[in-house]
Amino acid sequence: MRCDAGPRRGVGHLVRCLALAEEFLARGADVTVFGTVERLDWAVAELAARGIPLLPGPDSAAELVEAARRHHLDVLVLDSYELDPAGAGALRAAGVFTLAIIDGDSRGQVADLYLDQNFGAEQPSLGSGAELPAPGSGAELPAPGSGAELPGLGSGAELSGLGSRAGLPGRLLAGSGYALLRDTVISARPPVVPPATEVSRPRVLAFFGGTDAVGAAPVLTRVLVATGHPMDLTVIVGRPEIEAQVDDVAPGRGQIIRPVPPTTELPALITGADLVISAAGTSTWELCCLGAPSALVCVVDNQRESYTRVVRHGLAAGLGELSALTTAGVAGRAARATAARTLHGLLSSPQRRATLAARAWSTVDGQGRTRVVDAVLNATHPANA
């Protein structure tokens, strides 16, 4: 698996690769992660605990092929916005089965298999993963708006226009049915939808990825305080400078703010919270699987489409975009006031929280990684499928 993580990159790519790695390991495969993990001792420890070697990441197409040959790889998973897009095609040409994990944009990668785990990705729109290069043919999938439907793998249909080596048609695994979740999340999934609970001081959890690369925690902590509602707020602070800013926020009456560092106990914190505030990234699917009533903020541009779909379908409440919440002047004050009203409504209404939890829980069943590995093994070892 080829991915990177760090204070500025975040850990989303590594976390979903780790989930996929756990499934491959359970099937008897040998797994290695190639990449850079900067200033994240807990993430390195997570790999070590599973016996997964972490080796320096090859970057260029030639380096990826050389690494694949040196380590006798059958499959290489690419999960990066920064790698040379030509790497996938070069690996395929070298006989290495390639899975590209994408978020809408394929970046021109020519892979054997594409995975877009975002909710609604099986219904492509402009700029989405619908525009996937066709391996070997140079053709593209039907363009958005052409009237051609692009079925998800769950329908059993093939994607027209995607050819591949060895006569295997290329496939797009699309939608939250393929969400990649770690063992700790799957094991914490409640057997039934969490019920509505009336509490005078809700337990609130706020976290924004493993590093909070964009500094969302202090902003949302201030918005939560502005609701004026009593709460017991736990904030995951990924970096010392974030912790210092959260410490500077003065709680209101009946409010407690408790900053804590990144922890492997996050699933337990999520299931123990009455409301969770998070970024609209890969953690969205963890929240859904765990049936957590959540409010999301869109912190980077490539989350916008998924954020809009999730909020529109009622899987989580929407707090808007971080850029709007940090804007100065009248516009910024209005955005923060709107977000505070949304949060106050959730804090004061157990029924609203329960409705979000039920929709989220029923959308992500925790079996996505099983489906992805099934697809890889079906393609690479069809005789044993």
Q: What percent of the chain has pLDDT over 90?
A: 72
- Rounded to 10 degrees, the C-alpha dihedral 253/332/242/47 comes to 110
Res 385: pLDDT: 53
Q: Please give the tally of structural domains in the chain.
A: 2
Give 285-332 as a 3 state SS string. Answer: HHHHHCCCCEEEEECCHHHHHHHHHHHHCCCCEEEEEHHHHCCCHHHH
Pair 296, 378 in one domain:
no
Residue 339: pLDDT over 50: yes
Res 164: pLDDT: 32
Res 122: pLDDT: 83
User: CA-CA distance, 364 to 287, in Å (whole number)?
Assistant: 9
**Residue 5 belongs to some domain of the structure:** no
Mean pLDDT of 35-58: 91
**Residue 2 belongs to some domain of the structure:** no
**pLDDT band at residue 7 using 50, 70 and 90 as cut-offs:** confident
Mean pLDDT of 85-97: 95
Mean pLDDT of 205-210: 90
Mean pLDDT of 233-243: 93
For 127-182, what is each residue's pLDDT tens digit? 344 455 554 433 333 222 222 222 333 333 233 223 332 333 458 999 999 999 99
Mean pLDDT of 101-116: 92
Residue 97: pLDDT over 60: yes
Query: What CATH number has the domain bearing residue 32?
Result: 3.40.50.11190
Res 134: pLDDT: 52
Res 384: pLDDT: 63
Res 346: pLDDT: 98
**Residue 177 belongs to some domain of the structure:** yes
- CB burial of residue 25 (10 Å; 0-12, 13-18, 19+): middle
Listed in sequence order, the residues at least 6 apart from 334 whose beta carbon sits closer than 8 Å to its beta carbon are none
User: CA 27, 32, 37, 43 torsion: positive or negative?
Assistant: positive
Domain range enclosing 88: 12-181+366-384
Mean pLDDT of 33-50: 90
**Residue 4 belongs to some domain of the structure:** no
**Residue 6 belongs to some domain of the structure:** no
Mean pLDDT of 202-229: 94
Mean pLDDT of 20-33: 97
Mean pLDDT of 353-357: 97
Pair 380, 280 in one domain:
no
Pair 339, 378 in one domain:
no
Beta strand 97-101 with 113-116 is parallel
Mean pLDDT of the chain: 87
Res 186: pLDDT: 97
Pair 371, 359 in one domain:
no
Pair 62, 89 in one domain:
yes
Res 90: pLDDT: 96
For 186-197, what is each residue's pLDDT tens digit? 999 999 988 878
Higher-scoring residue by pLDDT: 11, 87: 87
Pair 212, 298 in one domain:
yes
Pair 161, 189 in one domain:
no
Mean pLDDT of 72-80: 96
Res 148: pLDDT: 29
**pLDDT band at residue 40 using 50, 70 and 90 as cut-offs:** confident
Residue type, 36: T
Closest to 251 (Cα-Cα) out of 273, 221, 278: 221
User: CA-CA distance, 120 to 364, in Å (whole number)?
Assistant: 12
**pLDDT band at residue 209 using 50, 70 and 90 as cut-offs:** confident
Pair 139, 150 in one domain:
yes
